Amino acid sequence: MSYLHIYQEHQPNTATFQSDDAIKISQQLAEVGVRFEQWQATQILAHDAAEADIIDAYQQDITRLKAQGGYQTVDVIALQKGNPNAAQLREKFLFEHTHSEDEVRFFVAGQGLFCLHIQDKVYQVLCQQGDLISVPENTPHWFDMGSDPEFTAIRLFNNTEGWVAKETGSNIAKQFPILD
């Protein structure tokens, strides 16, 4: 089940807000400019569905987001359990960083933990199947896919180069809980 935990940045062991209610999650995140939605597929997808089939299943929502956000590129990232590069891939995202564009992810399957450092708080959002999150440009954040990741996500980009991270130099990500 998706959840949101909010912490003061200097109190990583005590959440000041917790909810697994999608409406409350959406409301809390909207207050800080983060979009959170839950989508339904328009067709049933096989576990090993091709990228084109995945995009087609969510085309109506993708088209709406592209129109609203000016996104140019859409792709699908998929990781299966037992990936020999899992530890290396996980480390790539576990440091606080920003992007010069929104980071938009829709979870077709599996899960991932987005941690957003906004003002003096850390918002931990566990996104699962059916969840969309849009992290605004220049928002410090990190992402945990877990030690043995298994997820499929649609990604939308304004930048045709795709995912480009800028490290903040902060070690705050090491202070907060991760998936496992």
Rg, the chain, Cα only: 16
Place of tokens 């590129």: 73
Residue (of 109, 82, 76, 105) closest to 93 by Cα position:
105
> What is the helix (H) or strand (E) element at residue 118, kind and residue range?
strand 103-118
Annotated binding-site residue? 103: yes
CA distance 47 to 3: 24
Annotated binding-site residue? 99: yes
**Sign of the dihedral defined by the CA atoms of residues 173, 176, 89, 128, in that order:** negative
Burial of 116 (0-12, 13-18, 19+ CB in 10 A): buried
What Cα–Cα distance (Å) separates residue 165 from each residue in 41, 65, 82, 91, 159?
30, 22, 26, 13, 12
Annotated binding-site residue? 117: no
Residue positions in the annotated binding site for Fe(2+)? 97, 99, 103, 141
Residue positions in the annotated binding site for Ni(2+)? 97, 99, 103, 141
Residue positions in the annotated binding site? 97, 99, 103, 141
